């Protein structure tokens, strides 16, 4: 029985020592976690300060990005509009005299003077064959007897795809159907 008692006391002491070691280890681990939490809070405060200081710069940067995107879109639209304008003037070269040309993203309004109905008809046919034009409407026709000219107002409806894609390259003038480059 004494042997059982000494054995129980030694096991009890070992259990107490083991429990104290676990408690001490837990305390030390908890202390290290608390230190990490404090370090992370300090780091968050420092980075929050940096983010707060760059807020105005980021707003400015995003505004510049939006402006560049808008500029790119309008540059594409402008180059397409200029290209269509140039094609229309090439089509009428030697056939009609232009009084006014307005090219928008939806249509082209053209006011021309032609010496004959045949020259005017040839211009309208060439305009209808342009790859960017979906429809051509003759809005107003008047005959000027003073200078023997036919005055015509034309509206050409343009394809929306011509202005929709920003990253496509403008169509090369040599590849356009209906445009005679020899005029």
pLDDT digits (tens, 9 = 90+) for 49-91: 988 888 888 889 999 999 998 888 777 777 788 888 888 888 8
Please provide the DSSP assignment of 125-143 as one string.
Answer: HHHHT-TTEEEEEEEEEEE
- Residue 95: how many CB atoms within 10 A of its CB? 19
CB distance 165 to 132 below 8 Å: no
Question: Where are the chain's structural domains?
Answer: 60-170
Question: Greater confidence, 41 or 76?
Answer: 41
| Overall fold of domain 60-170 | Gyrase A; domain 2 (3.30.1360)
Position 18 scores a pLDDT of 93
Please tell me whether the overall predicted TM-score, pTM, comes out greater than 0.85 for this model.
no
DSSP, collapsed to helix, strand or coil, labels residue 180 as: coil
């Amino acid at each position: 029985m004494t042997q059982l008692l000494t054995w129980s006391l030694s096991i009890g002491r070992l259990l107490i020592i083991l429990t104290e070691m676990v408690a001490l280890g837990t305390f030390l681990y908890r202390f290290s976690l608390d230190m990490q939490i404090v370090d992370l809070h300090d780091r968050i405060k420092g980075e929050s300060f940096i983010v707060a200081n760059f807020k105005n710069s980021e707003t400015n940067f995003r505004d510049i990005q939006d402006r560049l995107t808008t500029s790119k879109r309008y540059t594409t639209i402008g180059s397409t509009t200029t290209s269509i304008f140039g094609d229309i003037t090439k089509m009428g070269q030697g056939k009609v005299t232009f009084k006014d040309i307005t090219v928008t993203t939806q249509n082209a309004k053209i006011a021309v003077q032609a010496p004959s109905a045949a020259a005017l008809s040839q211009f309208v046919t060439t305009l209808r064959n342009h790859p960017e034009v979906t429809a051509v409407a003759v809005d107003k026709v008047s005959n000027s007897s003073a200078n023997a000219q036919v005055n015509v107002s034309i509206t050409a409806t343009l394809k929306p795809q011509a202005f929709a894609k920003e990253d496509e390259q403008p169509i090369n003038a040599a590849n356009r159907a209906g445009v005679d480059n020899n005029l």
